[in-house]
Amino acid sequence: MSTRRYTEIETTHDFFAIACEGITLRHYAFQGIDFDTLSRQLRCTYDDCIFMGCNIPDEMRESIACNCIILPRVEAPYAVFPPRLYTAATLYHGYDPHNAATLDNCYDTRVYRHYIAQGKSAADIRETLCRTLHDHSISDALHDLLSQHDERDVVAIMGGHSLLRTDHTYLTVARIARSLTERGMLVVSGGGPGAMEATHLGAYMAHRPDSELVDAIDLLSQAPTFHHAQWLATAFEVMKRYPRLADTHDIGVPTWFYGHEPATPFAAHIAKYFDNSIREDGLLTIAKGGVIFAPGSAGTMQEIFQDAAQNHYCTHGYASPMIFLGTQYWSNHMPVYPLLQELLASGRYRNLLLTLTDSESEVIEALRR
């Protein structure tokens, strides 16, 4: 029995597929629909429906039962009810890779400026409500996409935003993500620079030879860090040189909370949130196929122990693999791996499926097991 009660209608095409003259529509959620013309073409009545950000003419309101929920359009610098996830084209709308100054006026930058101006913890109730409604719509669109995949095929790659494009680990992460994507897995990450970008570059380059992946990274290495003025432009240059070959899917989950870190344009789908806590917990929750931890610092450490807690309690029904990429890093530089081993051996943690490796093939094998 499905837990989803309402059928979502997001386009006029969807509307005409369900509506006819005089019909009563029940249990539908209309998102961003302009009923001004539609209500004159087809006269319907509505029972137990939800209207989110729709244009509803006055003459239509008498046909809407009192048990319907109407969330009206709200003026904001961002879409309060986004019907689908972002892409590089929508997030960076207005950006010209040949003119760095245009980044200041693209959609993503305008939203971030507004977010900072209002405050990360906004005091204005209207703003907090709009952000909550936005993030709810993003979560809804995200789970619509995830429903098309086996939950155990979703694998997250976590790691630091400061990983340089010139670092060998960047290439290793990209190769792993490419291999997983070619095997039909859905890779997800925090959607930012560093190890996160490497994840989506690898997914983007799926079904291309290693020589082309190396060439793409050579081009990107002209701007090794996201602080470089050409970081974004070189990414767009790679996408121009190497169009995506197949209808592959991968998901970046960034946040305006860390809006100074640009979202990678390589991700096929971008679930960008305002609320970082929802984003962090949700990212680990959806990765039921396992999590690969590339080298990172405080943020990655936080994610490790969040994931360990979910696995310890089998929060979502079962534990999934925790794979640490970088033997020296996780044993000595950030000695979290021996700590987790000790906690597991002593019984303080349970259900941890741990792997420590430097090998791409061992990562794939650990996930396969």
For residue 292, what are the β-bridge partners?
157, 323
According to the model, what pLDDT value does residue 252 have? 98
Q: Architecture of domain 150-368 in CATH?
A: 3-Layer(aba) Sandwich (3.40)
Top-confidence residue, 246 or 217: 217
Q: For residue 267, give the nearest of 221, 220, 198, 212 by alpha carbon.
A: 198
Cβ neighbourhood burial of 277 (10 Å; 0-12, 13-18, 19+): exposed
| Arithmetic mean of pLDDT over the chain | 96
pLDDT-derived band at 4, boundaries 50, 70, 90: low
- pLDDT beyond 50 at 85: yes
Calculate what percentage of the chain has a pLDDT beyond 90. 96
Calculate what percentage of the chain has a pLDDT beyond 70. 99
According to the model, what pLDDT value does residue 275 have? 97
pLDDT-derived band at 90, boundaries 50, 70, 90: very high
pLDDT-derived band at 48, boundaries 50, 70, 90: very high
Give the start-to-end residue ranges of the domains of the chain. 7-71, 150-368
According to the model, what pLDDT value does residue 246 have? 82
Q: How far is CA 159 from CA 15, 83, 130, 328, in A?
A: 42, 29, 30, 15
Question: For the ranges 2-16, 69-83, 201-215, which has the lowest average pLDDT?
Answer: 2-16
pLDDT-derived band at 369, boundaries 50, 70, 90: confident
CA 40 to chain centre: 38
Tell me if residue 225 falls in helix, strand or coil: coil
Q: For residue 235, give the nearest of 188, 186, 193 by alpha carbon.
A: 193
- pLDDT beyond 70 at 77: yes
pLDDT-derived band at 5, boundaries 50, 70, 90: confident
- pLDDT beyond 70 at 116: yes
Tokens 């009923």 label which residue?
A: 35
According to the model, what pLDDT value does residue 1 have? 42
